[in-house]
Amino acid sequence: MGPGSRSPETETTARFRENLDHSAPIPLAVAVAVAAAAADDGEPPRLPPPASPSPRSSRHHHHRLAPTPLRRIPPLLASQSPVPDPNSPDASPDPAGGGGGGAKLVPLFVSLAVGLAVRFLAPRPAEVSPQAWQLLSIFLSTIAGLVLGPLPVGAWAFLGLTAAVATHTLPFTAAFSAFTNEVIWLIVISFFFARGFVKTGLGDRIATYFVKWLGSSTLGLSYGLTISEAFIAPAMPSTTARAGGVFLPIIKSLSLSSGSKPNHPSSRKLGSYLVMSQFQAAGNSSALFLTAAAQNLLCLKLAQELGVIIANPWVAWFKAASLPAIASLLATPYLLYKIFPPETKDTPDAPALAAEKLKRMGPVTKNEWVMIGTMLLAVSLWVFGDAIGVSSVVAAMLGLSILLLLGVLDWDDCLNEKSAWDTLAWFAVLVGMAGQLTNLGIVSWMSSCVAKLLESFSLSWPAAFCILEASYFLIHYLFASQTGHVGALYSAFLAMHVAAGVPRVLSALALAFNTNLFGALTHYSSGQAAVYFGAGYLELPDVFRMGFVTALINILIWGVVGTFWWKLLGLY
């Protein structure tokens, strides 16, 4: 072999090394994650076409591709609008009337028609007051708009709130009361924590360590990425940020290094499997910890408003979710390896090249150590806070204050986290309306109607539990957001569970767990769904097919393991 030639293994190694540098994959991942953040915040995702990797020659361009440590990459900007921003001056107008042209006319008319039909055409039950019925019509119109998207979700929620105040359905103070809700502010602060993980590069470092330890085979790579997500999840409370800011860049690097390209027949070599496995495992990671996803906190807040109080919620959540979630996390990569197999089975170069990447990243930086210490403090206070009188939101506020004081985050980082402020607005609207509907008796009326229907079939509470849980899960095919689904249906379904005689705490937790598990049903069912589908490694039929199959697997595991585990814990 001549001095100028290279062995195939050396070529693969060189290609892996080039693609493992984040100078190439990060821009695509960040762009897709920006688009997906809007979807997870309730806006039906309008996905940008995934960009194919541009061909490049390391011989001609090596001087322009110097490795760039992740910690120097600008932080992930979670925006309400996809990229390119349709509200920007350079964006072309949307022919449907969206973007900078105001509301989309067809979704606007349909959303308004839903509320007007309930208000003026549907007969009002005698048990329901006119004020409650009018608020229900406004709420349903708001929910219809969140699904159909005539305006960005925050703007549409504000219109719903305006309608409630302008029609004197709610007084101003009642309409805006939820803006002081502790749980909503905990969700907002969680977005800032997620930004800290991406900005410092700590999330990427942790995931790369697991690739180094477990990445000698494709199945090992999948387990390494899955375990690292479960490890990061309690301290990085945004599944979308974990997907777009940490795991998709690593998966793209590993895939490109093996010749597996997006939007190309070679995608099935490695990339399709890794993306599908991580996508399907993300729901179980989010279900494992209370602080792993924003919708978890919202679920418990809505449950509290219905009188379902869970003592020491962080620990109670983890205990209930631990065994079924861990069982699903361990089963998912292997089962997908069998039913959605990759063409490349072994990746012998991955551990050594991950070690090389860690070497290039250098020692753990001061900001990463601060991030580690802050999150350990926050998680400790979330676990033991009830015993020492520190609430979850105060623990989060202390953690954010430390990050600001020590310069890990600056205030501009917080101001630029548009999805956090947007979430504050529309979560508060939904929580406020849901709370007022409960106070005015709408939820109790609906639950009593369902309870009577179930009683007419002489169903026991376990049978009613299964029917209601399955209905709550499958309805998500109509939603483009997990949190939007929670805001629309969680309170009503929890009230139906209670009315049917299902134990209260079991009802609240099971619905909340389902809220995470249905995030992988479709390419639009969650923010992380848009991130992973937008990478270009998955075909749409595969997403729907594997989403349904994996949903059945999760239902089986959670149903069997959870039944025995929850009985042991005394939840029923």
Give the mean model confidence (pLDDT) for residues 285-304. Answer: 90
Q: Which 3 state secondary structure label does DSSP give 525? A: coil
Which residue is it, tokens 């069998």?
A: 338
According to DSSP, residue 265 is labeled G
Measured between alpha carbons, how far is residue 331 from residues 326, 328, 547, 558 in Å? 9, 5, 15, 12
The enclosing H or E element of 514 equals helix 504-517
Return the pLDDT at 449: 81
Residue 222 has pLDDT above 90, yes or no: yes
Could you give the CA distance from residue 303 to residue 513 in angstroms, rounded to a whole number? 13
**Which helix (H) or strand (E) is 423 found in, with range?**
helix 418-439
112 in Cβ contact with 141 (< 8 Å): yes
pLDDT of residue 506: 96
Return the structure tokens found at 421.
Answer: 């402020």
- Tokens 């090389």 correspond to 356
Question: What's the token pair of residue 348?
Answer: 């012998």
* pTM attached to this predicted model: 0.67
| Contact assessment for residue 238 and residue 508, using Cβ atoms and an 8 Å cutoff | no
Q: What is the CA radius of gyration of the chain?
A: 24
Angstrom distance (rounded) from CA 467 to CA 451: 12
Distance CA 507, CA 526 (A): 23
To 10 degrees, the CA torsion angle through 283, 288, 290, 296? 30
Average pLDDT, the chain: 79
pLDDT winner (highest mean) among 409-423, 486-500, 502-516: 502-516
Residues pairing with 217 in the sheet: 346
Q: What is the pLDDT of residue 391?
A: 82
The pLDDT assigned to 80 comes to: 31
Which tokens sit at 112? 């308004």
Question: Which residue has better confidence, 326 or 428?
Answer: 326
Which has more pLDDT, 317 or 385?
A: 317
How far apart are alpha carbons 56 and 14 in whole angstroms? 13
In this model, does residue 214 exceed pLDDT 90?
A: no
Interior CA angle at 235 toward 285 and 78, to 5°?
85
User: Where do we find the tokens 């995931």?
Assistant: 207
> 490: which DSSP letter?
I
Amino acid 31 reads A
**Mean pLDDT within 136-149:** 85
In the predicted model, what is the mean pLDDT of residues 430-455?
A: 78
Question: Residue 386 pLDDT > 90, yes or no?
Answer: no
pLDDT tens column, 53-65:
444 333 333 333 3
Q: State the DSSP string of 96-135.
A: TS-GGG-S-HHHHHHHHHHHHHHHHTSPPPTTS-HHHHHH
In this structure, which amino acid lies at residue 210? F
What is the reported pLDDT for 318? 96
pLDDT of 525: 86
Quote the pLDDT of residue 180.
83
Task: Return the exposure string of 409-422: e unless at least 16 CB atoms fall within 10 Å of the residue's CB, then b.
Answer: beeebbebbbbbeb
Q: What is the pLDDT of residue 192?
A: 86
Contact between residue 435 and residue 180 where contact means Cβ atoms under 8 Å apart: no
The residue to which tokens 């639009």 are assigned: 524
Predicted pLDDT of residue 516: 95
Distance CA 77, CA 198 (A): 10
- As a residue count, the chain comes to 572
Task: Let me know the angle formed at the C-alpha of 338 by 337 and 343, rounded to the nearest 5 degrees.
Answer: 60
**In 3D, which of 83, 96, 108 has the Cα closest to residue 30?**
83
Q: How confident is the model at residue 563 (pLDDT cuts 50, 70, 90)?
A: very high
CA-CA distance, 250 to 169, in Å (whole number)?
51
The 10s digit of each residue's pLDDT in 466-477 is 999 999 999 888
Residues 232/292, Cβ–Cβ less than 8 Å: no
How far from 474 is each of 13, 193, 479, CA to CA, in Å? 45, 32, 10
pLDDT at 38: 40
Mean pLDDT value of segment 550-564: 95
**Average pLDDT, stretch 244-266?**
85
Spell out the alpha helix ranges (H) of 291-407: 294-305, 313-339, 350-361, 366-388, 392-405
The predicted pLDDT at position 100 comes to 54
Please state the rounded mean pLDDT for residues 23-31.
Answer: 35
Structure tokens at 463: 């049978």
C-alpha count within 13 angstroms, C-beta hemisphere, residue 217: 8
Q: Check residue 274 and give its pLDDT.
A: 94
Q: Which of 343-352, 479-488, 537-546 is predicted most confidently?
A: 537-546
Give the pLDDT band of residue 3 (cuts 50, 70, 90). very low
* pLDDT of 35: 37
State the pLDDT at residue 554.
Answer: 94
Range with the lowest mean pLDDT among 63-72, 358-367, 460-469?
63-72
In this structure, what are the phi and psi dihedrals at residue 346, rounded to the nearest 5 degrees?
-120, 140
Amino acid letter, 229: E
Across 21-25, 254-258, 528-532, 546-550, least confident range: 21-25
Is the pLDDT confidence value at 548 over 80? yes
3-state class percentages of the chain: helix first, strand second, coil last, to nearest 5: 75, 0, 25
- What pLDDT shows up at residue 339? 95
Instruction: Flag whether pLDDT at 319 surpasses 70.
Output: yes
